[in-house]
Every structure is written in structure tokens, then in C-alpha cells.
Amino acid sequence: MSAYILRRLLYALPILIGVNLLTFVLFFVLNSPDEMARMQLGEKRVTPAVISNWKQEHGYDRPLLFNEKASGLAKVTDTIFFQRSVKLFAFDFGSSDDGRNIGYDISQRMWPSLAIAVPVLLVGFAIDISLALFIVFFRATYLDFGAVVLLVAMMSISGLFYIIGGQFLMSKMFHLVPISGYDIGIKAWKFMILPVIVGVVGGVGSGVRWYRTLFLEEVSKDYVRTARAKGLTERRVLFRHVFGNALIPILTGVVVVLPLLFMGSLITESFFGIPGLGSYTIDAISNQDFAIVHAMVFLGAVLYILGLLLTDISYTLVDPRVRLQ
Amino acid sequence: MFVVLAVLAALVLLLGGCGKVPWNDPYPEGLALSNTLYSSFDERPKHLDPVRSYSANEYAFLAQVYEPPLQYHFLLRPYQLVPLSASQVPIPRYFDAAGKPLPDDAPAEQIAYSDYLVQVRRGVRFQPHPAFARDGSGALRYHGLTAVDLRGINRLADFPYTGTRDLTAADFVHQTKRLAAPWLHSPIAGVMQEHILGFKELGERLTQAAKLDPVARVQALREARLDGVEVVDPASFRIRINGKYPQFAYWLAMPFFAPMPWEAELFYAQPGMKERNIVLDWYPVGTGPFMLTENNPNLRMVLTRNPNFWGETFPTQGMPGDAEAGLIKDASRPMPFVDQAVYSLEKEDIPRWNKFVQGYYDSSGISSDAFDQAVRIGGDGGPSLTDEMQTKGIELMTSVETSISYLGFNMRDQVVGGYSEQARLLRRAISIAVDYEEFISIFANGRGLIAQGPLPPGISGYQEGKGGINPYVYEWHDGRPVRRGIAEARALLEQAGYPGGRDPKTGRALSINYEAVATGPDDKSRLAWMRKQFEKLGIELVIRSTDYNRFQEKMQNGTGQVYMWGWNADYPDSENFFFLLYGPNGKVEHQGENASNYDNPEFNRLFDQMKFMENGPERQALIDQMMTIARRDAPWLWGFYPKAFSLHHQWLFNVNPNKMANNTLKYRRLDPVLRERLRTEWNPSVLWPLWAVLGIGAILVLPALWMVRRRERSTAL
Amino acid sequence: MMLVILWTDALVFLLLALAIGFALYASRHEHLRAPWRRVARSRVGLGALVVLGFYVLIGLLDTLHFRLPLADPAPGAAHAATERRFAPEVMSVFDYWARPLRQRQEKTYSAPFATHLFVKEAITQPDGSVVRDYPRLQYGGRHLKDPKQRGWDIFDTALRGQIEGLVVWGLITLLVLWGMARRRGLALLAMYAEVRDGRTDLPWRTALGGLALMLVLGFVAGELALKYHILGTDKVGEDVFFQALKSIRTGLVIGTLTTLVMLPAAVLLGVMAGYFRGWVDDIIQYLYTTLNAIPSVLLIAAAILMLQVYMANNADQFESLVERADLRLLFLCLILGVTSWTGLCRLLRGEALKLREADYVQAGAALGVGHFAILGRHIVPNVLHIVLTTLVLDFSGLVLAEAVLSYINIGVDPTMNSWGNMINSARLELARDPVVWWSLAAAFLFMFTLVLAANLFADVVRDAFDPRLRGTR
């Protein structure tokens, strides 16, 4: 097992290098260090001298990928790419183009993201599964058909509508919760209500439909028929057997997304003014702050790989037949 | 779904017992009655170091903390400089090349340099700050920190001891030297090189020091000598300027020249501070009425009253009408009046506006879409508040900004640029066709004043009435300017050689590129509108929209044809506007701010004369001549001067629009009791939807349970 | 008239040709025809198909672009009538057809069916005094002498539209019935009775019912739109109904072309990875894991910015706004394709892994058939159903994604009509008081209908093709 994990982690290295290279190329194909300097230095009275000064200060005066002037190994190492990427592997994110420490910012902004994402996941999980079981209970009736159409309809509504509508009703009309904002620590709870409700309601359509399919697949299996033949009630069959067995695909599906919860939600966070990693990323894109974008992409890739690994491991835990070699 | 509702209902009950605080109150409980002002900011400030900061959203914080030598009088108009951390406004003394004093009215050519002797105000002390903390032996406590000392320190507030000291002339000199330091990237270093004696040389000398580690850099800076700026005695210093530069006094009112204690700079430069984001760029150290106590640009910024403030008093003088408006009720009372100001990050317009209406922000601007809700334009064109706002007791302030938003032509372009009669006619035709009145009414809700030239009102040189109109675009009818008709524009276009908007060379419609910055949802309609204006002449407008960065680069390269841009005055002087059209300030060749690259020798000559003059009839005559030349050449569609409308609640006092002063927070006064009462009144929780949803849920769940039961029985068979 | 073929137009035509080709191919192969017959037999599927048909029709009309000839030769030009000149503006057949909607621009906001502007303006009275009031619209309800008659006028017009719609529907129904009756050798009336009672093999009753609904709705809307702005006007006075209709093409193009452009790569790489295994598999897996690991929003943002740079540097190549917007749309499809092909690729790899062990593939390999022949003859045709279901399932997700991307300003060109852009500008309108709700409502309505129909259709298609699910339905 540990050998397997080690091998997978080694396998992650080329992927991370590839991700780094791709991010780098994409960012600098369109964006010269000159432009980044201009963006950071503000609007008025920016002269070329100031710009070259800034580039030197932030290490953007090196060539991008290949240094012809240097000799030997320095041809590759004395470049922006190398200088910027290597430290990432040690999770040293350096400082952003406007001078803030990125690692510090990430450690601060991670919690608001989690504070929204985790409740959405848990509450959504509970609601989706109970509704799906309810629908499966009535499978092949008009109730089932109607519910599926309703779910599809809910899926067909753009997520933006849920957010806009939620803010309009809950905050503007009924004065129930603050429209937007956030606070540190326990005081944050009243700001979380609306984003969590919006997140859960927005996910009901696809979530319930997905679980319904899983349960239906399970229901058609032989052991269910046996259980029923034994005289168990339908409710027992569903809750004890079908639910229990469907948990395997459900859980492994959830494990993949667990690490990515850290990344937050781009749209929700910027609409509700939540200072999480999602809005951090969006701001970095619009400010063309390469250092932050780079760090966030790297972090995303690491978490993604971690998710894949966790999935594999969770398979072995829930299903003894699967073995990792 | 029902689980959510059940949780909500539980919360509702829980909250119900919590007292009378409105549920949608975004602030922590228990602060309702504190003397705290609430406001918002929409973009996180990038720099809070006065050497680098150069934008309004940063000044909102910075100007409350740092005190430059001078400031603008809060109430008097036209804008007038009064002392702040200096004890009086310095009067320049002129010298010729031999160092002989010259009289004040000496001609500008004779003046080799001018001296500004600044007297430092006595009894001013810096805010409490760990950089000044001293231990028992009198040594600075937090200088020379090691990694061990920094353990457990994450914010500035984690340092237990603070100290203070008196302001001296050396602090001003230190800051001026910082402006020259190449590693600090001051945006005005380029400008100051031209004016302050020895500034450029200092910058060059310091390039070596730039490679040193941060602590050594600060030391190098302390030891470096700036020829033009010297400490005379602890209470005064002298700045020496090349030639004559009357506008220099205005620079002394900007945070760039605020005093900076070397202890603070050295304190922040220590190793280990940057990793904790404890840097001078984030934690300002000033003498002002407030200090930044919470600095979390991702969430909120909090300014708290500086206990060491020197006790500036509210001005006693005002303009006629100010007394009636209750603006000098607080005259001679020591400022500041509020204990704290909380600025929350608010990126989206909608939540910000709604929170203001609910009473959670004390003041607010008006976004274009909220305008109809707030303001009614009366029959005479004057604005007044809507009934909804009036019943809430909200008050409206309007003022014309000292800025201009214009549509410029690139004068280097083959088609729209150049100084031939043909090009001039083309530009004039477009000037008439683009109906800025409509633009203002659609996109700015009437919050703008049509510009007849580059000078906005409030700047000396601006002319009102018939004499002040641009005769190429406007006629004077019945006591007001009327835009010339579209038929006239078409005729001009035909004279220019484009009959019906068609280019005779290609036979196709003349096509002009419009360099646009498109970022928001509003831009689409704006671009469509602009296209419609050119269509009136049969010209096809090709819109090339990019982000602001790319736009700047295009301007730098001079490849655009038509573009829209604006200028916000640095100081209230006509020079600060005319220099946007001054040839040697061209964007492409000289990297200046003249984005149109307009270069008319006669205009340049007049500008060179006018910039050294004091305001008066002589200067007015030159300004009029320059205005005539610029209007004839039409390098810009003069566009409009934006008008600022701002709203504030009835519990906020001493609000007076001052477009030049940024340090206005100290004048504000609050009535927290009234605010608390009204907030509760305005935000009753509406509970019926909650019960309704719960009720519907129950109605749905019960039959479902019944159905489950029934189905169970039937399938069990 | 000069035909203009934009990049996306060409690809849409290609897609159309492919679809027709596939239909012909499928109709001759029983194993492909059977699932489609199952689709057609489903009432939901057929109903959704009718709705989709209307969307596709409008989308296609909006895809035929041309430039109108200029009516008058330029006065004073030396070479007058010898050479025909064309207006610079690129129009589509739909633009031309919906001229009345396009050209009737008001000054600013007006509510649906309004006769007056939504905001007050200073109006100069005949006696010279100035009053602030809601001015009459220039076009909407202009024909009414007295705005109070509006209710009856709307009723009349709607009735007329309804009758027209029913007449057209009657004709079509008659034609269909007649055709069916002839083929089946039945009398027309007997055929009618069969359809009415739902006894036909295909659910014709549903199809014709759906058609009736759509036709009546279409005609009523059309008639009313000639007299009013039935969904109001936006900030610069453009008809919102027209915008919503124009957005159909954008939505369809994004939903379909994205899958089309990613298809070759996904199919080829997926199948190759599964078939060859070994180092080919490793490389391809590495490729898609790496791509997957980058958050897609960042990838899209970077690509769109890159395109903007390209367009800024090569501004001369783009003669008109339409071309620029079109290229951006195409690019968006491409980049969305790049971010979404990995899922399909992985599915196909798994399927190919299974198929390569099948007897006929093994036999082919033993007989010395080339690898690529095996891939082309045995593997690819056997994974086509997966491709098809993915294509249909992805469609609605992509339409929704467009809206979200426009919010972060990395969607389609801001000058292009799209639901995303409509929603994006409507965000601010909701903050107005009184609320300007119609832009949002229009975008919602049109998008919802399309996505709902597509989702329902996708469900039916998946069920029809997926052998595992067949039993449960």
C-alpha cells in the first residue's frame, strides 16, 4: 500500500511539471512582463524606466524559458520559469506581484471557502440522498416521472438565477439575512446561511438525479429480489440494502471532490463577497497577477491528484476485493 | 430541502430570543450604538505607502493617516491651500543663477531656482506604534529582531509595546529622499526629477544601494544627501526647486510629501517581516487623526482614532450658505468626531446599494441603475430625491468633479489625425454628431456637464455662459448652448471629402477604429450607442475592445484612432489640464499624458508662458487663446465633466463635497442613537414566507408519508 | 447580395452535413436505427424534438449571412455603376426577416407591451412649458390613438395570431395525415381517428400537439411583436424579444460546435489509448490528467485573453464587428472543447480496453489485419453510441456554462447577443427600483426552454442507447 502511494506520488511529478509549463506558457504568450508591471504600477505617470525597474525588482527581467546568454545549466535555471516553478514544489509560494505573501493569504482565505463548501456538501448530501430514496421508492409511477421532469427543470436553471433570486428575496424583500459580507470566526454564521441555501438548492437537480440513477441500478440487482423474497418490507430493502450498497460509488464520488473544496467557488464567493480562495483567483485573473494565478493553478493540480489518490485508497477500504499493487 | 427549512426555522427561533437586532445586520452585535462610521470599498488598495500610492481608493485610507504639510480648506471655494503638518503655507522666494534674491514679480526666465521654507507644526506626535517603542534603557525595543523574537507574531497588533515621538523636519526630508529611491517605484519620481534640485542625482547614486538588503537600503537612504532638500533646524526644512514652478505648493498637499519616520521604515525592513505581510506598504505610520488598526483588504479595513492626534479644530470659515446648511456648527471643536470607521469590501453594486438603503452604510454614491430609485430630475433639470429617499431622510449632495471624460482622436493617425483642413472638418463633423447630451442622460443619468473645452468649472480659467461655448459644435440660443444640427455635420463631412460617410478611395463607408475598454456588463450598450452616433454620418465604427492594460499599451504605441479616456486633476490648476494637450508631453514620443499626441506649436508656446503665471487677467487672456486653438483643431470631443452625486443618511453630519481633499473623515460627525433606531425600524424581519414554506412543506410531506404507507402495503403483496 | 460565410457558419454547415450523413447511414443499419426508433416512440423525446426543431430553425436562419448591395452608387465616385458595392454590415437571413424588430429602437427601457417609456423625461409641451413625464414610445403601440385601448388591441392581435397559427397547423396536419394515410392505405378520416386516439406506432398525437402549441405561440408572438415590444426594451432601447431570439444561435453554436471540435481528438486518442495500451496509453493518460488538473476557468480566461491580444495585433484582418465576434465565439468553442474532451476520452479508453478483448477483434488481429483498420472498422463504430450520448448530454451543460463565463467576462464577445450577456447586464437592472425584470425573464425563459428540452431529449437518447437501463424503464 505505502509503496503504491509512493509510486503514485512520483507519478504526480511529471504531471505537476506539465501543469506548470502549460500555465506558464498560457500566461506569458498573452502577457508580457511589461504589461504586468504597468498593471501593478498604476495609471498615471508610468515611464519605461520605472517599468524596467519594477521588472528587475520582481525577477521578471530574465528570459522566459531559455537563457541564451547564460552558460551550462544556467541556460535553463536562470529563467523566469525555473525561478518561479521550483519553489512551488516546496510549497513556497513567494510573494504576489503586488508584494503580499501568497502562502499567508492562502492560509487566511482557505477557511471562508471551506466554511461555505463543507456545509453545502454535507447538507446537500443529506437532502439529495433522502429525496432520491423517496423517488426510488415510487419508481415507475407518475410521481417518479414528474419528479424527474422537475429535477431536469431545476438543472436547466442557470446557477446565477439562484444567486440573484436568493439575494433578492431573502435579503432585499424579507430582511432575513445580510445580503453579502463575511466575518471571521463564529460570527460568520449569519453570512453563511444564504450562500449555503443557494448552493444546496442549486445542486438538488443534478444531485438527486445522479443518486436516483445509482439507486435504480442497485435496485435491479438480484440480491434485492432475494431480500424482498425473504419478506422484508420495501422500506427496509431500500434503506438497509440498497442504500448500503450504493454508498460505495457515492462515497468514492465524494472523495474525489473533497480536496478541491479548498479551492472554493468562483461565482458564489464573488457574489456574496466572501473572502475565499475562489474570489482570490478571480481577482488575480483580472489583475493579471501571475504569481497568484500560478500558485493557485499549482495548488489546484496538487489537490486534484490528491483526490485521485484518495479515491483509489477509499476503493480498497470499502471494497476488500480491490487491491492496490 | 425540508432539512434546510427546518434548520432555518430553528435559527429563526434561536434568533428571535436574541433581542431586537435586525437579522440582516451585517455587523457584529453590540456595536450598534458605538460612534463608528460604516462605509465600503470596492477594490483592495494595492499600496498604502505614501511614496507609491496614487489612486483615490488608496487615498481614502491613506489621507486619514498621513499628514502632508498642506491640505485644502474643507469649505472654502475655489480650492484653497491651508497648513496641515506645516504651521503655515510656505511662500516661495526666487533666486537668479548667481544666487541673488529676486523680487516676487521677476520674470520666469530670470529665476534659476525657488526656495520653499516649510515650518513644521509644533506638538505633533506620531501614532502609537511598535517601531517607536523603547525599553528601560531607552533603546528601540523592536529594532534588531531575530527569528525567535518574531515567533507568534502575525499581525502588527501582536507586538505588545508601542511608543511615539515628536514630528521633526527630518521626517519630511526622509520621505522626500524616499521618493527618489529606485526600489520604491514612486510614480512621481519622474516629475520630481525635473523640479527638485539634485533629485535625479540622488536617484542615480541610490541605484547601487538598490541591490543591498532592505535594512542596509534604509541606512543608505538615511545617509544619502538630497541637495535640494535640507533640514534647517528641527522645526523647519527647505526645498529648492529648479526655476519657477508655482504648482509645487499643490504637490505639498499630496500624501507623497507626508512625513515618514525612519524608525518605522527600519522596523518594517527587518528580516522576517515581509513573510508575515507586515510591511510599510500595508501598515501606515502617520500623525493624522486616525490610524489603521485592522488591515484585512479581503474583508474590511478599520480606522481608529489616533490618541496622539494634535487636536486640529473644525474650520470656522465657510462659504455663504454653509452656515445655513449646518456645516459650521462644529466650528472650533477638536476633531475627529468619530471614534472608528469600518470599511467593508463590497465588490458588487447591488449588495452595496441595498445595504445603504437598509441603513448599514452611512453614505453611498449612486450607481447608474440605482439612480431612478434615488433621484428625480425636476422640470428645470435640477435633481431632487425621490419620495422613498425623502421619507428615509436621506440627503443628496451634488458637485461637478475636477475631472473630464473625453473622446480623443489620435493626431498621428492618417485619417482622423493631422492638421489639414480636411482632417479638421472630419473631426468637427464627428464632434457634432456624437450627441454627448444623450450619452450623459442615458449612461450617467444626467450626472454630467457638457464640456466646452478642457477646463472644468471650479478651475480658474473656466468661463461660463456665451463666451465659454465651443462655437464649432454649439450655438447660443435663448440663453443656453444648443448643439449644432446633424445636417451641418453631414455638410462638414462632405467638405472633408467623405460624402455620405463614404471614403472615395475605397467606395465603402469610412471605417474608423474605436479603442474601447470593455469590462462590465454596461459596456455593451455603451458601445452600441457609440456605433449609432457614427452611423448618423454613415461612418462605420469598428470597435476594438480590450482590457485596460492592453488599451494603455495601444495608446503608448499610438496605433489607435478614436478612444475614450478621462483625466482626474492632481491639483486645481489649469496647467494640470492644458498639459494634456501640450506637444512635448505626447504619449508616443515622450511617454507623457497627452494621449492624443496633439502638437500645435502655437499652443505649446502659449502653454510654456501660461504655466509660470499666477491666476489673473493676464493668464486668462492666454488661456482664452489656447482654448480657441484647441477648439479649432478639435483633437478631442471635449466630452463632459462628471458630476458626483452622493447620498448620506440623516445621522451623518458635516458632509460637504470636496473634490480635492481626501482627508475628510475627520470632519464627519454621527448620531449613532438615531441610526440604531432607524435601522431597526427599516429592517423588520418578514417571517410569513418562512412559515408559508414550512406549511407547504408539511402539507406535502404528510400525504407523501401516507402514500409511502399505502404503497408499502400494496407492494408487500 | 453577397454571401458571407463566417467561420462558425462553415462549421455549422459541416455539422449539418455530418448529421444528415449520419442519419442516412443509420437508416440503413438496423442496430443504429433501433435505438432511434425507441427515441421517436417516446412521447417526451418527440415533444422535446419539436421544441428543439424550432430553436434549430431560427438558429439556422441566423447562420445564413450575407451583405446587402448598396442601393445608390456613391455620388461623385468616378467608377459609378460598373461595379456593385455592398453594405459593410453583415446580416443574416433572420436579421433580414426580423427587420421590423431590429430597426424599431426606442430610446431606453420600456416594459413589455408598454406604450410609454419606462423612465421620465423632460417633454416640451406645445405651449413651450416643460413637463417631466413618461413619453410615448416611438414604435411600441404607436398605432394606438389612445393607449387605453391597449388591452383590447392585444387581445385582437393575439386572436388573429392564434387563428393564423391554427390555420397553418391545420394545413401541415392535413398534409401529414394525408401522407400517412396514403402509405398505410387508409382513409383520411380513419387515419385521423388513429392519431387522435394515440394508436399510431409513433406518438404522432404528441408531435402534432406540440407543433400546434409552438405554431400558435409563434404566430401570436409574431403578430404582437409587430405592434409592441412584447418583452420590452433594454437600456439602449433594443427589443429584448429580438435579442433573445438572436441569442438562440449563440447558444446552439456553443452547445454543438464545442463537442464537434473536440470530437476528433477525443475519439482518436481515447480509442488509441485503450487499444494500444503500453506507452501510448501512458502518454495519452498523462495528457488528459495534466489538462484536467488545471482549473478550467483559468484555462478559458487565459485563452480568451490570448485571442484578444491576437485580434489587437492583427486588427486589419477583421473587417467587421461580426467577424471579430464570430472568431471569439469559435475560439470559445475550441477552448471549451479542450477543457471538456478529457471526460469523453476517458470513457472511450475504458470501452476500447474492453472491446480489444472481444473475439472478433482478436480474430482480426490474428488474421493480420492492420491496427488502424481494426480501429476504424471494429472499435470506432462500436463506441459511437457513447460519443452520441455524451454529445447530447453535454449540450445543455455548455449552454449554461456560457452564461457563467459571461459573468466573469470571458464569455462571448460583449457585442454579441447571448443569454449570458443578457443575464450579465440584467444583474444591474434588478437593483433598480422599480425593477427592470424583463431582460432577465426573457433570457431565463428562452434558455430554460432550450435546456429543458435538450435535457429531456438527452435522457431519452441515453435510455435508448444504454442497454443496461433498458430493463428498468
Q: Does B279 touch chain A (CB under 8 A)?
A: yes
pLDDT(B549) > 50 = yes
User: What is the domain range of residue B430?
Assistant: 403-644
User: What is the domain range of residue A173?
Assistant: 110-318
Q: Burial of B562 by CB count in 10 Å (0-12 exposed, 13-18 middle, 19+ buried)?
A: buried
B-contacting residues of C 310-349, CB under 8 Å? 311-312, 315, 318, 320-321, 324
Choose from C134, C233, C235 for mutation: most chain B CBs within 10 A: C235
Q: Does C88 touch chain B (CB under 8 A)?
A: yes
Subunits in contact with chain C (3 or more CB pairs closer than 8 Å): A, B
Asked if B334 and B288 count as a contact pair (C-beta separation under 8 A), the reply is no
The pLDDT confidence band at residue A322, using thresholds 50, 70 and 90, is low
Residues B552 and B408 in one domain: yes
CATH number of residue A237's parent domain: 1.10.3720.10
CB contact under 8 A, A296 and C297: no
Percent of chain B with pLDDT over 90: 44
A45 contacts in chain B (CB < 8 Å): 54, 187-188, 190-191, 593
A324 located within any domain: no
Predicted pLDDT of residue C470: 47
Residues B457 and B591 in one domain: yes
* Pairwise CA distance, residues A40 & A79, whole Å: 21
C-contacting residues of B 482-541, CB under 8 Å? 499-500, 502, 504, 507-509, 511, 513, 518-525, 527-529, 532, 540
A169 contacts in chain B (CB < 8 Å): 689
CB contact under 8 A, A200 and B4: yes
CATH number of residue B465's parent domain: 3.10.105.10
A101 located within any domain: no
Nearest CA in chain A to C454: A156
Residues B494 and B547 in one domain: yes
Residues B6 and B141 in one domain: no
CATH number of residue B180's parent domain: 3.90.76.10
The pLDDT confidence band at residue A325, using thresholds 50, 70 and 90, is low
Asked if C327 and C315 count as a contact pair (C-beta separation under 8 A), the reply is no
A325 located within any domain: no
What is the per-residue pLDDT across B271-290, written as a single tens digit (0 to 9) for each? 888 888 889 988 999 999 99
Q: Does A149 touch chain C (CB under 8 A)?
A: yes
C298 contacts in chain A (CB < 8 Å): 23, 281, 285, 293, 296-297
A138 located within any domain: yes
Predicted pLDDT of residue A41: 67
Q: What are φ and ψ of residue B543, in 5° steps?
A: -95, 125
Residues B157 and B222 in one domain: yes
Residues A65 and A210 in one domain: no
Which of B221, B256, B288 lies at the terminal end of a domain, its last residue? B288
B300 located within any domain: no
A143 located within any domain: yes
Asked if B592 and B586 count as a contact pair (C-beta separation under 8 A), the reply is yes
C427 contacts in chain B (CB < 8 Å): 348, 350, 521
Residues A235 and A120 in one domain: yes
Which residues of chain C fall short of a pLDDT of 70? 70-85, 87-88, 122, 128, 309, 312-321, 431-433, 466-473
B508 contacts in chain C (CB < 8 Å): 85, 88
Report the range of poorest mean pLDDT among A33-37, B210-214, C275-279: A33-37
Amino acid type, C305:
L
Residues 6+ apart with CB under 8 A from C302: A23, A26, A27, A30
CB contact under 8 A, B442 and C236: yes
Q: Please, where are the H alpha helices in B544-685?
A: 548-557, 575-578, 587-590, 601-610, 617-633, 672-682
A225 contacts in chain B (CB < 8 Å): none
Residues B597 and B697 in one domain: no
Residues A63 and A208 in one domain: no
CB contact under 8 A, C77 and B367: no
CB contact under 8 A, A104 and B277: yes
C-contacting residues of A 158-217, CB under 8 Å? 158-161, 164, 168, 216-217
Tally of domains within chain A = 2
B389 located within any domain: no
Q: Distance from B611 to chain A by nearest Cα, in Å?
A: 19
* Pairwise CA distance, residues C218 & C158, whole Å: 11
- Per the model's pLDDT, the better-predicted residue between B60 and A243 turns out to be B60
Residues A141 and A59 in one domain: no
| Kind plus residue range of the DSSP H or E element containing B476 | strand B474-477
A249 located within any domain: yes
Residues A175 and A310 in one domain: yes
A 10 A CB-CB count for C137 gives 22
Residues B563 and B492 in one domain: yes
Q: Does B586 touch chain A (CB under 8 A)?
A: no
C296 contacts in chain A (CB < 8 Å): none
What is the per-residue pLDDT across B64-117, written as a single tens digit (0 to 9) for each? 999 999 999 999 887 889 999 999 999 999 999 888 999 888 888 889 999 999
A300 located within any domain: yes
B217 located within any domain: yes
Predicted ipTM?
Answer: 0.80
Asked if C124 and C136 count as a contact pair (C-beta separation under 8 A), the reply is no
CB contact under 8 A, A301 and C302: no
| Kind plus residue range of the DSSP H or E element containing C183 | helix C150-184
| Kind plus residue range of the DSSP H or E element containing B383 | strand B383-385
Taking all residues of chain A, what is their mean pLDDT, rounded to a whole number? Answer: 80
Residues A177 and A313 in one domain: yes
Nearest CA in chain A to C311: A30
Q: Please, where are the H alpha helices in C295-410?
A: 296-313, 321-355, 359-366, 371-374, 380-407
Which of B625, B644, B663 lies at the terminal end of a domain, its last residue? B644
Report the range of poorest mean pLDDT among A233-247, B196-210, C54-68, C303-317: C303-317
B573 located within any domain: yes
Residues B547 and B491 in one domain: yes
Residue position matching grid coordinates 499581525: B155
* Pairwise CA distance, residues A199 & A266, whole Å: 12
When pLDDT is averaged across residues B410-433 and rounded to a whole number, the result is: 91
**C-alpha angle B198-B201-B205 in degrees, rounded to nearest 5:** 135
When pLDDT is averaged across residues B445-450 and rounded to a whole number, the result is: 84
Q: What is the 3-state secondary structure (H, E, C) of B76-135?
A: CCCCCEEECCECCCCCCEEECCCCCEECCCCCHHHCCEEEEEEEECCCCECCCEHHHCEC
Amino acid type, C363:
A
Predicted pLDDT of residue C74: 47
Q: How many B-C residue pairs are in contact by the CB < 8 A criterion? A: 113
- Per the model's pLDDT, the better-predicted residue between A125 and B32 turns out to be A125
Predicted pLDDT of residue C468: 55
B255 located within any domain: yes
pLDDT(B676) > 80 = yes
Residues B19 and B56 in one domain: no
Which of B288, B322, B350 lies at the terminal end of a domain, its last residue? B288
Residues A74 and A136 in one domain: no
Determine if residue B393 is left, alpha or beta; phi over 0 gives left, psi from -120 to 50 gives alpha, anything else beta.
Answer: left
- Per the model's pLDDT, the better-predicted residue between C1 and A119 turns out to be A119
User: In the 8-state DSSP scheme, what is residue C199?
Assistant: -
Residues A85 and A232 in one domain: no
Residues A216 and A80 in one domain: no
B524 contacts in chain C (CB < 8 Å): 414-415, 421, 425
CB contact under 8 A, C236 and B378: no
Tally of domains within chain B = 3
C-contacting residues of B 346-365, CB under 8 Å? 348-350, 353-354
B435 located within any domain: yes
Residues B13 and B48 in one domain: no
Residues 6+ apart with CB under 8 A from B374: B366, B385, B386, B389, B394, B396, B647
Tell me the C-alpha to C-alpha distance, in Å, between residue B138 and each of B24, B130, B167, B505: 51, 14, 18, 83
Residues A80 and A213 in one domain: no
**How is residue C390 written as a grid cell?**
455524451
* Pairwise CA distance, residues B434 & B637, whole Å: 8
CB contact under 8 A, B24 and A167: no
What is the per-residue pLDDT across A301-321, written as a single tens digit (0 to 9) for each? 888 888 888 888 877 777 666
What is the per-residue pLDDT across B329-361, written as a single tens digit (0 to 9) for each? 999 999 999 999 999 988 877 788 888 988 999
What is the per-residue pLDDT across B230-243, written as a single tens digit (0 to 9) for each? 999 999 999 999 98
pLDDT(B18) > 70 = no
Q: Distance from B299 to chain A by nearest Cα, in Å?
A: 6
CB contact under 8 A, A158 and C403: yes
* Pairwise CA distance, residues C166 & B397, whole Å: 59
Choose from B52, B59, B298, B682 for mutation: most chain A CBs within 10 A: B298
B360 located within any domain: no
Which of A90, A118, A141 lies at the terminal end of a domain, its last residue? A90
Nearest CA in chain B to C86: B508
CB contact under 8 A, A172 and B281: no
Nearest CA in chain A to C290: A15
Residues B107 and B54 in one domain: yes
Residues B474 and B545 in one domain: yes
Residues A133 and A183 in one domain: yes
- Closest by alpha carbon to B112, among B93, B92, B96? B96
- Closest by alpha carbon to C325, among B544, B490, A26? B544
Predicted pLDDT of residue A229: 82
Q: Does B628 touch chain A (CB under 8 A)?
A: no
A221 located within any domain: yes
Q: Distance from A305 to chain C by nearest Cα, in Å?
A: 7
What is the per-residue pLDDT across B507-535, written as a single tens digit (0 to 9) for each? 778 888 888 886 655 676 788 888 889 98
